[in-house]
Amino acid sequence: MLERDSLMQAAREAAQLDDFGPDDFEEGFAVLLDSYAKDAHLTELGQQLSRDEIVGDLVGRLQVVEQLKQTPEILESEVERPVFILGLPRSGTTTIHHLLQQDPDSQVLEYWLGVVPKSRPPRDTWNEDADYQRVAEVLRLTYEADPDLRALHDVSAGGAGECRFVFRHLFKDDSYDHTAHLPSYRAWFDQQPMDDVYRWYHDVLKLIQTPNSTGKRWILKYPPHLRCLKELFREFPDACVIHTHRDPAKVIPSYASLLTHFSAVYEEKVDPHQIGELSARLWQERIAQGVCDRAALDRESQFVDLHFRDVLADPVGSIEQAFSALDLPLSETAVSQMTAWQSSHQPERHGVHQYSAETYGLDAAALSDAFADYRDQYGIPAE
């Protein structure tokens, strides 16, 4: 069912376009499809969802290529001093991201524009936009398939989204094996340089901001940026980074729980212990890479560290502290609107996320020991 020519033809028909641009996506595309064929155990629904998502990745690529051909002057615009929020998942990154979406002087990569990149239309037209409606419907069906997901990972079409959909235009992204068992794709992906992905990503940001949001500060969030700090700063040398920190022994079982819920929607057989092992290994590698690269970059004035406990206690105050340290302006209007949003979006409003390390074959004490150097370096308390 996941066959190259069929998928590409479906994308051409959906987009009514046929130029996929450079062939920089072909290797990742081939490795991914091969991994699905030999590694995954998709249900009928999982087959359809995976097919729809891959066609969507190809459609997004087609649309970006076409729009940049039609209006190449877009590439002359600038993405100035973007702010990247990175750190472990479930360490406060999403809270910061959603709050900063309320700042009228900032812009985020909205979920739907990550899926369907184009020049951002005026906000009051989104509900009538066919692309927006389609993305919103897919999210509705996803939460309908597993209502517990909303307590773990609450997103909306118009809300702040992660960068993964744009990365997927080159079929180089962490998220593919978050819904299916794809070890051969993971082994390939973990060895790939990401400079081409960040160049493409930079161009897509220019496309989305033009013409209505040029000059607004970008606020971008995706935990896997942590493994690509060198590539990020090669493409965005004036970037600022808000780096959040939390005890990995608490985070990794929670992350494994999230991946298990996603995988259960797609696969016939889900092994929680296998997902726990993957989650622990990935974040041990990423944290080590991120700490090493951050030191080598010698750009400490462009980083600020926030602890999860402080973000949880005072999210808006933490953002004010971070922006002050980075010498970034934050208006009274932004603070007021963030405060209002926070009061109406309390944690656990969709329920409590229940999980245990043991469910995923993880030992909290062993995890704590594995990350002891990281916790000591950043003064991260055990939870």
When pLDDT is averaged across residues 229-250 and rounded to a whole number, the result is: 96
- In this predicted structure, the answer to whether residue 100 has a pLDDT above a threshold of 70 is yes
CA trace torsion 369, 377, 301, 162 (10° rounding)? 20
Local confidence band at 145 (pLDDT 50, 70, 90 cut-offs): confident
Peptide bond into 211 cis (omega under 30): yes
Position 147 scores a pLDDT of: 74
The CA distance from 221 to 109, in Å, is 9
DSSP conformational letter for 382: P
Summary mean pLDDT of the chain: 93
Asked if residue 151 lies in contact with residue 350, where contact means CB atoms within 8 angstroms, the answer is yes
Domains and CATH numbers, the chain: 4-378 (3.40.50.300)
- In this predicted structure, the answer to whether residue 304 has a pLDDT above a threshold of 80 is yes
**88-97, 226-235, 238-247: least confidently modelled range:** 88-97
Position 349 scores a pLDDT of: 45
- In this predicted structure, the answer to whether residue 149 has a pLDDT above a threshold of 80 is no
**How many alpha carbons lie under 13 Å from residue 293 in its C-beta half-sphere?**
16
Position 261 scores a pLDDT of: 87
- In this predicted structure, the answer to whether residue 352 has a pLDDT above a threshold of 60 is no
Task: Name residues whose C-beta falls within 8 Å of residue 176's C-beta, 6 or more positions apart in sequence.
Answer: 32, 168, 182, 185, 189
Local confidence band at 267 (pLDDT 50, 70, 90 cut-offs): very high
Local confidence band at 196 (pLDDT 50, 70, 90 cut-offs): very high
Task: Name residues whose C-beta falls within 8 Å of residue 212's C-beta, 6 or more positions apart in sequence.
Answer: 119, 120, 121, 122
Q: Which strands form 240-245's sheet, in the order they lie side by side?
A: 106-108, 217-221, 83-87, 240-245, 303-307
When pLDDT is averaged across residues 105-133 and rounded to a whole number, the result is: 96
Predicted TM-score of the model (pTM):
0.94
CB-based burial label for 151 (10 Å; 0-12, 13-18, 19+): middle
pLDDT, one tens digit per residue, over 55-74 is: 999 999 999 999 999 999 99
- Return the structure tokens found at 203: 């161009």
- In this predicted structure, the answer to whether residue 350 has a pLDDT above a threshold of 60 is no
